[in-house]
Amino acid sequence: APGQVVEVRVTFRALRESDISSYLLVDLPISGEDATDAAAPIKVDLAASVRAPCVEWQHPGPLDLGVVRAGSPHTSTLRIANPTDLPLLARIRSRVQDDADTGDQAAQDVEFPVASHAQVVDFFLSRLRDLASASLLGGEPPAFAAVPGWPPPSVAEDGDLGDAGGFEFSPGCLVLWPRQSAEVEAKLRPGSVGELRAVIEALGFDSRAAPRVDVVASVQAPQLR
């Protein structure tokens, strides 16, 4: 009716991360029975930045390992958290940090053991059923589940730092329960002697974000006393 105001609710659902710039057209037909335009359609601009939820590292500042001996393993413990109401799949990897590295490098073409978020939820629900069966035995229920068989040998480079050695992560791939956190063991196997600068990243499934912890260490040769 003339002068009437109508509120229209539009529901938008995106399947993947993306930056969207588009528009909606609102047709103005003569009536519900006659689709002839009474006036030109109204254009409504639509803009959105779609980002997937991602995990967070609960570690203040860089991980300073101090002096470590070449060839001798050095183990540290980090805590990773899921701040969302959804189960999240994360894969842990490390890489060498260079002088031009000033921020997160988005995960590109990263292999995961699932193809959709629905599979992540299914994995979560299956573990919940297992926990419900095991709850009769008592004990504190875990806040995450490691993904069996991951990472496979085909992605063993997750911890490779080249001549600088490499990391081994346990777990290397995990599903975090909603609003929960878990410990990740990072075992460094130092390589060449010198200053080590590396990055440990948590790559979320279907996410461009790569939350990171900077790692610094002074790798020295073993000494005789």
Predicted model pTM: 0.75
pLDDT at site 133: 67
Work out the percent of the chain whose per-residue pLDDT is above 90.
Answer: 34
* Mean pLDDT value across the chain: 83
Question: At 104, is the pLDDT very low, low, confident or very high (cuts 50, 70, 90)?
Answer: very low
194: left (phi over 0), alpha (psi -120 to 50) or beta: left
Predicted confidence (pLDDT) at residue 64 exceeds the cutoff of 60: yes
CA atoms of 130 and 135, how far apart (whole Å): 9
Asked if 208 contacts 51 with a C-beta cutoff of 8 angstroms, the reply is yes
- pLDDT at residue 155 in the model: 55
* Backbone CA torsion sign across 17, 125, 177, 210: negative
pLDDT value of position 200: 93
